[in-house]
Amino acid sequence: MIDNPSLVEQQLKKNGYLKTPLEKGIHLPSAIQALKKEKNAVLLAHYYQEPEIQELADFLGDSLYLAKKAAEVEADIIVFAGVHFMAETAKIINPTKKVLLPDLKAGCSLADSCPPGDFSEFKKLHPEAVVVTYINCSAEIKALSDIVCTSSNAVQVIESIPKDREIIFAPDKNLGKYLIKETGRPMILWEGACIVHEAFSFDKIIALAKADPEAQFIAHPESESPVLEIAQYIGSTAGLLRYVQEDSSQTYIVATEAGILHEMQKKCPDKKFIPAPVEDDTCACSECAFMKLNTLEKLYNCMVHELPEIHLNKTLIEKARKPIERMLNLGTT
């Protein structure tokens, strides 16, 4: 452990995590399991995490499932293997717990696309509108919202709003456009997007589907409209996972972050899953670089040192909790 608190502070600021050497010969998965017991900690992991992290999770799921589980945790520590807004959400809905994130720099392009100052000005242009925000946003944006949604329950959340009310939807314009189509409700959209879901290539997906006509094309609603228009099923990560288990096809082209393929393959060992092709052949663009900042080593170190920890001030927690609770109280699945 680094004894000097200001050195710790400096390292966390610079790297987003603490760099300390590992004991020789350590088996990280067993060491992490032991730490969970020793520290009375619960590990929540999103489907976009590396498979070895998913395998260690006490709860593995999509954003909605993980938010619900975070609210129920009775253990002392919540370790969130996901991105910053997810760990923040856990802290907001269960504020007495210590919430840890293996790498503080695990952010999100959607959350980054919506700075609170700009959003506050945008809201002033539509003072009568109900503000619905996708959970992929900062605590400050949640505090400026009336109700939060995830991709699993967004349609139900929009449908819960009286028909005569104007709606602002932020920050994802792609999910927003999809929701306008699904619900028939006009909405004022914030122009944010997910770098991973915008990277898919429409032309290459078409070519792949032509080469394998039996393959079903399925997509996450953060994808762009032309991609969604050719999808045979659109859903959240949990929705996509459910679909491939219930559907009778053998092959799927999957347009979402490639981490979900691990659980799909586990649930359906005899089926074939192909990550949807991206525009740029030189990058691993169907992987979220933010999600993939978390590694087994960082997860282990974060549990040993109980750092980095998510801190939020009390007033912000109180303001941001209300729109999350409104969503949870709708009882959506």
Report 152-171 residues binding ligand 13P (CB under 6 A).
152
**Nearer to ligand 13P (CB atom), residue 135 or residue 161:** 135
Contact 330, 156 (CB under 8 A): yes
Candidate segments 89-97, 144-152, 207-215, 274-282, binder of ligand 13P by CB under 6 A: 144-152
When binding is defined by CB under 6 A, the residue of 136, 138, 145, 286 that contacts ligand 13P is 136
109 binds, among ligand 13P, ligand SF4, none (CB under 5 to 8 A by kind): ligand SF4
**Nearer to ligand 13P (CB atom), residue 136 or residue 201:** 136
**Nearer to ligand 13P (CB atom), residue 151 or residue 201:** 151
- The amino acid present at 231, given as its one-letter code, is A
Interhelix angle for 63-72 vs 84-93, to 10°? 40
Residues 225-244, mask of contacts with ligand 13P (x by CB under 6 A): -----------xx-------
63 binds, among ligand 13P, ligand SF4, none (CB under 5 to 8 A by kind): ligand 13P
Contact 73, 42 (CB under 8 A): yes
Told to check if 62 binds ligand 13P by CB under 6 A, we report yes
- Residue 94: φ, ψ to 5°: -140, 65
> Which stretches of the chain are DSSP H helices?
5-15, 28-38, 51-54, 63-72, 84-93, 109-112, 116-124, 139-143, 154-159, 173-183, 202-211, 225-229, 237-246, 260-267, 296-305, 314-329
CB of 65: closest distance to ligand 13P in angstroms? 8
Told to check if 54 binds ligand 13P by CB under 6 A, we report no
Q: Which DSSP category does 279 fall into? A: S
CB of 37: closest distance to ligand SF4 in angstroms? 29
**Nearer to ligand 13P (CB atom), residue 136 or residue 174:** 136
Report 176-205 residues binding ligand 13P (CB under 6 A).
194
Task: Kindly state the number of chain residues that form the binding site for ligand 13P, as judged by CB under 6 A.
Answer: 11
Told to check if 138 binds ligand 13P by CB under 6 A, we report no
Joined tokens for residue 207: 């070519």
Q: Which residue in the block uniquely carries the two structure tokens 């996901």?
A: 82
Candidate segments 36-44, 98-106, 145-153, 226-234, binder of ligand 13P by CB under 6 A: 145-153
C-alpha distances in angstroms, 236 versus 47, 219, 244, 254?
11, 8, 12, 12
When binding is defined by CB under 6 A, the residue of 49, 89, 145, 150 that contacts ligand 13P is 150
Question: At CB < 8 A and 24+ separation, what contacts does 236-241 make?
Answer: 236/62, 236/63, 236/64, 236/150, 236/151, 236/152, 237/46, 237/47, 237/48, 237/61, 237/62, 237/151, 238/47, 238/61, 238/62, 238/64, 238/65, 238/152, 239/62, 239/151, 239/152, 240/264, 241/47, 241/267
290 binds, among ligand SF4, ligand 13P, none (CB under 5 to 8 A by kind): ligand SF4
50 binds, among ligand SF4, ligand 13P, none (CB under 5 to 8 A by kind): none
Residues that bind ligand SF4 (CB under 6 A): 83, 108-110, 136, 194-196, 222, 257, 288, 290-291
Catalog residues that contact ligand 13P under the rule CB under 6 A.
62-63, 136, 150-152, 194, 220, 222, 236-237
